[in-house]
C-alpha cells in the first residue's frame, strides 16, 4: 500500500455533484464549441471501383457509438426542458451499458478464442476495441462535465438539489442516520476479504464499494480490505422530508449514506478509504441450436448466468487509489484499457428515479393527446370501421388504442372464432396479453407466437408464455435459429356464411408504453388477400412445410431482401434511361452489404437516394462516382425514431411504398422472421409526405459525412426552423 491509501477518505461524496469550475454560460459554451472533437472519423482514401472494397464501409461498432454520442448531444440542447436533457444524458449511459454488454463483449470473445471476424470494413477486432476506448474515454469524460458543470447547477437553480454530506444540517443528518439504520443496515452485507471470505461474485452493473480498514475484528483478523455491495432492492436516490429543507426538491444519494456511515458496518474498526466501483459483464446469451430440445427450459437456465458473465468494463470513482484499481483489475481480469475513471456516480442510469421523485411538469415535455381518426371514433365497432376503410396510424402522434380496442372487441365478440398474434416485447402489464387471456378463456382459438429471445425481455416473455398457456392459449416459440421479429395480428370472424379475416401489421412492438415514446406505423385492414398472406406466415411459424407464395406480403428470410434489391435495380434502370428515379429509406440500421452495394450501384446510375438511418450505418455517402447521389441523415429528438419505411419512385406516378418490421441489417434479412407490407393510394401519398418532413428537418437532423462524422443541420440564413416530429405532432395530436 502506498501513502495515498493512508489518507482519509475524500470529503466530497462520490455520487454528489461537483462544484462548477466554470460559470454556467461559459461551461455551456465551452462544451458546445468542443462538439467538433466528437467526430468519430476514419481515414478515407480514394476507393477502387470494386464495391466490396473495405474503404467503402464504415465500421459497424463505431457507427453504433456515433449514435450514442448524438444522444448525449441532446443534453446540451437549450431548447429542451431541463429534466429531459438530464434523461438524454442518462440514456447515453444506459445505451453504453448495453453496448459493452453485447458489442464489446463480442469483440473480446473473438480475440479470446482466436475467432476474429471482420465485417465489410475489414477492421480487425483489436483495432475496433482501441477506437472504442478512445471514443468512450472522450465522451464519458464529456458526459460527466455536462452533468457536473451544466445540468446539476441548472437543476439547483430550479430548486432541485442533490445534497452533499458536507452540506447536511444536523437535522438532516439525524434523519439520514435513522433512514440508514432502518432501511439500509438490515439488508446490506459487507464482506471482509480474507482466506475464508474470498472476493465476492458481484452482479452485473451493481453498485459496490471497496473499503480500506484499519484494526482487528472480533476474531482477531486484520485483512485491510472489504467490499460493500449496495443492495439492488434499495433506491439510489432518497428524497429528504420537505420540513427539513428550505423549499425545493432535496435528494440524497444512497452512496452518500454508505460513505458517511460505513464505519457502522465494521464496529471497532476505522475506515481509511471508501470508493465506489461498478463492473459490466458480458450479458449476451448464446445457444447451440443443434443441442436444444426445449427452448424455454434452456433459456431459463441461461438467464441466471447473464448476471455473472465475463467482466468487460470497470468503472471507478476517479479518486480511487491506483493500488485499489489494480487490485480490482486483477480480480476481474481486466487490462488498463477496460478501466474508466469517472467524476461522479458510477451508476448514472439509476438517476432516472428523479422523474418519480420530482414533480416538475414545467421541466418536462409538454403533454399531448394522441389523435384518433374520426372514422375510428364514430363507428360502433372497430370491425365496421376497418371493413369500410383500412387504417394507417402513426404512433405516438396517433393513438395506439385502436389496436388494443380491436383485440379487446375480438375477445368479447361471439362472432370471432380465432386470433393469432406475434409478441416480441409487450411489457409487464400488457393490455394486449389481457385481451388474449380473455379470448382464450371465452373459448376462442388463440395462437400466440412469443419470441423468447427478445434481448433483455427473455424473463418477462417466459412469464407471459406461462400465463397465456394457463389461460388456454396455444403458445409456440417460433422457429429455432430465427428470431420472430414480425409484428402481426390476425382475427378470424364469422360473418354470415363466410369467415372474414382482419389483420394488423406494424413496424413496432405490441407495447402500449413504447407506443407513446417510439415512432411506429400500424396498418389495420380487412383486405382478404393480405389476411390470407398473414395466415400463411403464421402457418410457417407454427407448423412445417415449404415456402408458401404470398400475394401482398414479403417476408424475411425468404423474399424481402430479394424484393428490395429488385426495386433498387429497377430505379437504377429508370435513371439510366432518363426516367425519374428516387429512393427514400427510413430504418434504424443499415448494415446489410448486399443492400449497400445495390444502393451504390443505383447511385452510380444517377438515382437520388435519401436515407434516414437513426442508428448504425455502414454505407459511406459522398464518395465521388460511387455514392455522391446518396444522402444519410439521422433524426434524434423527443421520440425514438423506429419506423421502417421504403419508398421507390417507379414510373407513371405509382410509387412502391412499404412499411416493415425489418431494418436493412443482416440479422433482419437473414436470421429473423420479418414482414414487409405494401401501401397504396392515399396511404402511400401520406407516407411520402411524412418522409419529406424528415428530409426537410433542420433542427434535429444530423447528416453523415464521407469521413464517418455527423453534423447537426442548422437553418440556413432566412430559413425557418423545421422539426419533423413537431410537425407530426401538429398534424395529428392535440
Find the domain containing 93 and state its range.
17-161
Sheet strand arrangement including 225-229: 191-192, 225-229, 207-214, 270-281, 311-317, 339-342
151 and 245 together in one domain: no
What band does 443 get if pLDDT is binned at 50, 70 and 90?
very high
Answer whether residue 21 shows pLDDT above 50.
no
Q: How big is the CA angle at 648 (ends 646 and 653), to the nearest 5 degrees?
A: 135
333 and 473 together in one domain: no
pLDDT score of 482: 87
pLDDT per residue as tens digits for the range 355-381: 889 999 999 999 999 999 988 886 677
Which CATH number does the domain housing residue 641 bear?
3.30.870.10
Question: Is 574 annotated for ligand binding?
Answer: no
Residue 109, in any domain of the structure: yes
Question: Is 424 annotated for ligand binding?
Answer: no
Answer whether residue 3 shows pLDDT above 60.
no
pLDDT per residue as tens digits for the range 311-350: 999 999 999 999 999 999 999 999 999 999 999 999 899 9
pLDDT per residue as tens digits for the range 198-209: 888 899 999 999
For 398, list phi and psi in degrees, rounded to 5. -115, 150
Residue 358, in any domain of the structure: yes
State the total domains in the chain: 4
Residue 111, in any domain of the structure: yes
Answer whether residue 37 shows pLDDT above 50.
no
Q: 210-219, 474-483, 538-547, 599-608: which range is least confident on average?
A: 210-219
644 with 556: CB under 8 angstroms? no
pLDDT score of 223: 66
360 and 509 together in one domain: no
342 and 399 together in one domain: no
pLDDT score of 300: 52
Tell me which of 98, 129, 161 is where a domain ends: 161
The rounded distance, in Å, linking the Cα atoms of 302 and 299 is 5
Q: What is the mean pLDDT of residues 46-75?
A: 90
pLDDT score of 454: 59
What band does 477 get if pLDDT is binned at 50, 70 and 90?
confident
Answer whether residue 217 shows pLDDT above 70.
no
Q: What is the mean pLDDT of residues 443-450?
A: 93
Answer whether residue 239 shows pLDDT above 80.
yes
Answer whether residue 478 shows pLDDT above 80.
no
Average pLDDT for the chain: 88
Answer whether residue 93 shows pLDDT above 90.
yes
Q: Which residues are bridge partners to 673 per DSSP?
A: 484
CA dist list (Å): 137 to 72, 77, 526, 670 = 14, 22, 53, 34
Which CATH number does the domain housing residue 268 bear?
3.30.1840.10
Give the number of residues written for the chain.
Answer: 734
466 and 340 together in one domain: no
267 and 349 together in one domain: yes
Helix (H, G, I), strand (E, B) or coil at 578: coil
By C-alpha distance, which of 581, 382, 638 is closest to 493? Answer: 382
pLDDT score of 425: 83
Residue 289, in any domain of the structure: no
Answer whether residue 507 shows pLDDT above 50.
yes
Burial class, 45, CB count within 10 angstroms (exposed 0-12 / middle 13-18 / buried 19+): exposed
The rounded distance, in Å, linking the Cα atoms of 112 and 116 is 9
pLDDT score of 2: 41
The rounded distance, in Å, linking the Cα atoms of 438 and 431 is 11
pLDDT score of 5: 36
Question: Is 732 annotated for ligand binding?
Answer: no
> Rounded to a whole number, what is the distance in angstroms from the first to the last CA of the chain?
64
The rounded distance, in Å, linking the Cα atoms of 660 and 676 is 4
Q: Which residues are bridge partners to 17 per DSSP?
A: none
Tell me which of 100, 131, 161 is where a domain ends: 161
Answer whether residue 705 shows pLDDT above 90.
yes
CA dist list (Å): 117 to 64, 114, 217 = 18, 9, 52
594 and 725 together in one domain: yes
Residue 9, in any domain of the structure: no
- Helix segments in 442-590, DSSP class H: 458-471, 528-542, 560-576
What band does 297 get if pLDDT is binned at 50, 70 and 90?
low
Q: What is the mean pLDDT of residues 1-21?
A: 39
Residue 395 is among the residues annotated as catalytic for this protein: no
pLDDT per residue as tens digits for the range 149-165: 999 999 999 999 999 99
The rounded distance, in Å, linking the Cα atoms of 408 and 401 is 10
Sheet strand arrangement including 249-253: 160-162, 249-253, 237-239
**Residue 652 CB neighbour total at 10 angstroms:** 7
The rounded distance, in Å, linking the Cα atoms of 620 and 604 is 14
The rounded distance, in Å, linking the Cα atoms of 461 and 488 is 17
By C-alpha distance, which of 211, 210, 206, 207 is closest to 263? Answer: 211
Question: Is 518 annotated for ligand binding?
Answer: yes
- Percentage above 70 pLDDT, the chain: 87
Residue 5, in any domain of the structure: no
345 and 450 together in one domain: no
Residue 603, in any domain of the structure: yes
pLDDT per residue as tens digits for the range 547-566: 888 999 999 999 999 999 99
pLDDT score of 375: 83
**Residue 111 CB neighbour total at 10 angstroms:** 14
Tell me which of 161, 190, 212 is where a domain ends: 161
312 with 280: CB under 8 angstroms? yes
What band does 118 get if pLDDT is binned at 50, 70 and 90?
confident
CA dist list (Å): 301 to 288, 297, 304, 657 = 13, 6, 6, 43
143 and 213 together in one domain: no
Q: 114-128, 258-272, 290-304, 589-603: which range is least confident on average?
A: 290-304
What band does 734 get if pLDDT is binned at 50, 70 and 90?
confident
Which candidate in 64, 259, 485, 511 is catalytic? 485
513 and 599 together in one domain: no
Question: Is 642 annotated for ligand binding?
Answer: yes
What band does 4 get if pLDDT is binned at 50, 70 and 90?
very low
29 and 81 together in one domain: yes
**Residue 170 CB neighbour total at 10 angstroms:** 7
For the chain, count helices (H), then strands (E). 22, 27
335 contacts: CB under 8 Å, gap ≥ 6: 329
For 686, list phi and psi in degrees, rounded to 5. -65, -45
For 87, list phi and psi in degrees, rounded to 5. -60, -40
Answer whether residue 538 shows pLDDT above 60.
yes
Residue 292, in any domain of the structure: no
pLDDT score of 166: 92
Q: What is the mean pLDDT of residues 725-734?
A: 96
Question: Is 646 annotated for ligand binding?
Answer: no
542 with 447: CB under 8 angstroms? yes
Q: What is the DSSP letter of 167?
A: G
26 contacts: CB under 8 Å, gap ≥ 6: none
**Residue 12 CB neighbour total at 10 angstroms:** 15
Q: What is the mean pLDDT of residues 37-53?
A: 63
Q: What is the DSSP letter of 401?
A: H
Q: What is the mean pLDDT of residues 121-129?
A: 95
394 and 514 together in one domain: yes
Amino acid at each position: 500500500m502506498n501513502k495515498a491509501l493512508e489518507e482519509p477518505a475524500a470529503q466530497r461524496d462520490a455520487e454528489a455533484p461537483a462544484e462548477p469550475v466554470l460559470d454556467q454560460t461559459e461551461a455551456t459554451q465551452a462544451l458546445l464549441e468542443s462538439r467538433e472533437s466528437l467526430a468519430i472519423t476514419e481515414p478515407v482514401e480514394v476507393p477502387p471501383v470494386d464495391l466490396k472494397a473495405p474503404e467503402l464501409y464504415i465500421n459497424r461498432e463505431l457507427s453504433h457509438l456515433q449514435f450514442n454520442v448524438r444522444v448525449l448531444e441532446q443534453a446540451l440542447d437549450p431548447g429542451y426542458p431541463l429534466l429531459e436533457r438530464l434523461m438524454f444524458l442518462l440514456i447515453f449511459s444506459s445505451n453504453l451499458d448495453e453496448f459493452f454488454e453485447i458489442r464489446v463483449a463480442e469483440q473480446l470473445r473473438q480475440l479470446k478464442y482466436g475467432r476474429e471476424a471482420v465485417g465489410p470494413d475489414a477492421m480487425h477486432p483489436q483495432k475496433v476495441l482501441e477506437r472504442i476506448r478512445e471514443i468512450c474515454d472522450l465522451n464519458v469524460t464529456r458526459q460527466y462535465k455536462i452533468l457536473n458543470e451544466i445540468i446539476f447547477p441548472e437543476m439547483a437553480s430550479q430548486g432541485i438539489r442533490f445534497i452533499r454530506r458536507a452540506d447536511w444540517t444536523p437535522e438532516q443528518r439525524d434523519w439520514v442516520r435513522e433512514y440508514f439504520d432502518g432501511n439500509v443496515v438490515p439488508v446490506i452485507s459487507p464482506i471482509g476479504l480474507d482466506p475464508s471470505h474470498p472476493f465476492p461474485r458481484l452482479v452485473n452493473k451493481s453498485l459496490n464499494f471497496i473499503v480500506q480498514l484499519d484494526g482487528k475484528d472480533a476474531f482477531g483478523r486484520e485483512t485491510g480490505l472489504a467490499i460493500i455491495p449496495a443492495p439492488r432492492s434499495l433506491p439510489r436516490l432518497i428524497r429528504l422530508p420537505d420540513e427539513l429543507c428550505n423549499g425545493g426538491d432535496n435528494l440524497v444519494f444512497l452512496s452518500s449514506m454508505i460513505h458517511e456511515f460505513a464505519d457502522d458496518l465494521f464496529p471497532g474498526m476505522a475506515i481509511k478509504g471508501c470508493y465506489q466501483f461498478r463492473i459490466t459483464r458480458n450479458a449476451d446469451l448464446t445457444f447451440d441450436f443443434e443441442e436444444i430440445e426445449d427452448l424455454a427450459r434452456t433459456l431459463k437456465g441461461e438467464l441466471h448466468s447473464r448476471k455473472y458473465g465475463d467482466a468487460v468494463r470497470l468503472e471507478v470513482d476517479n479518486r480511487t487509489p491506483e493500488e485499489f484499481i489494480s487490485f480490482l483489475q486483477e480480480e476481474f481480469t481486466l487490462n488498463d484499457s477496460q478501466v474508466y475513471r469517472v467524476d461522479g456516480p458510477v451508476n448514472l442510469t439509476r438517476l432516472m428515479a428523479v422523474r418519480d421523485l420530482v414533480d416538475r411538469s414545467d421541466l418536462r415535455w409538454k403533454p399531448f393527446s394522441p389523435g384518433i381518426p374520426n372514422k375510428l371514433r364514430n363507428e360502433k365497432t372497430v370491425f365496421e370501421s376497418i371493413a369500410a376503410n383500412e387504417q394507417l396510424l402513426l404512433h405516438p402522434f396517433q393513438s395506439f388504442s385502436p389496436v388494443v380496442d380491436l383485440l379487446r372487441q375480438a375477445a368479447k365478440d361471439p362472432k370471432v372464432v380465432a386470433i393469432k398474434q406475434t409478441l416480441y416485447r409487450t411489457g409487464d402489464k400488457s393490455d394486449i396479453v389481457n385481451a388474449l387471456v380473455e379470448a382464450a378463456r371465452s373459448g376462442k382459438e388463440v395462437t400466440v407466437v412469443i419470441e423468447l429471445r427478445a434481448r433483455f425481455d427473455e424473463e418477462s416473455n417466459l412469464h407471459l408464455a406461462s400465463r397465456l398457456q394457463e389461460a388456454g392459449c396455444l403458445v409456440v416459440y417460433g422457429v429455432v435459429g430465427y428470431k420472430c421479429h414480425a409484428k402481426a395480428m390476425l382475427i378470424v370472424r364469422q360473418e354470415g356464411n363466410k369467415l372474414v379475416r382482419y389483420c394488423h401489421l406494424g413496424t413496432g412492438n405490441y407495447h402500449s408504453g413504447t407506443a407513446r415514446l417510439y415512432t411506429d406505423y400500424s396498418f389495420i385492414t380487412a383486405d382478404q388477400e393480405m389476411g390470407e398472406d398473414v395466415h400463411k406466415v403464421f402457418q410457417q411459424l407454427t407448423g412445417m412445410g415449404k415456402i408458401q407464395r404470398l400475394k401482398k406480403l414479403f417476408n424475411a428470410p425468404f423474399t424481402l431482401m430479394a424484393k428490395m434489391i429488385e426495386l433498387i435495380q429497377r430505379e437504377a434502370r429508370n435513371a439510366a434511361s432518363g426516367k425519374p428515379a428516387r429512393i427514400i429509406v427510413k430504418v434504424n440500421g443499415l448494415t446489410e452489404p448486399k443492400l449497400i452495394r445495390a444502393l451504390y450501384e443505383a447511385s452510380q446510375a444517377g438515382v437520388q437516394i435519401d436515407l434516414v438511418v437513426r442508428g448504425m450505418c455502414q454505407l459511406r455517402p459522398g464518395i465521388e462516382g460511387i455514392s455522391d447521389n446518396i444522402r444519410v441523415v439521422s433524426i434524434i429528438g423527443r421520440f425514438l425514431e423506429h419506423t421502417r419505411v421504403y419508398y421507390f419512385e417507379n414510373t407513371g406516378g405509382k410509387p412502391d411504398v412499404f412499411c416493415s418490421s425489418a431494418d436493412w441489417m443482416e440479422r433482419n434479412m437473414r436470421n429473423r422472421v420479418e414482414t414487409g407490407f405494401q401501401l397504396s393510394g392515399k396511404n402511400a401519398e401520406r407516407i411520402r409526405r411524412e418522409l419529406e418532413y424528415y428530409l426537410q428537418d433542420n433542427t434535429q437532423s444530423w447528416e453523415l459525412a464521407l469521413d464517418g462524422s455527423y453534423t447537426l443541420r442548422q437553418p440556413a440564413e432566412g430559413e425557418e426552423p423545421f422539426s419533423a416530429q413537431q410537425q407530426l405532432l401538429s398534424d395529428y395530436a392535440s
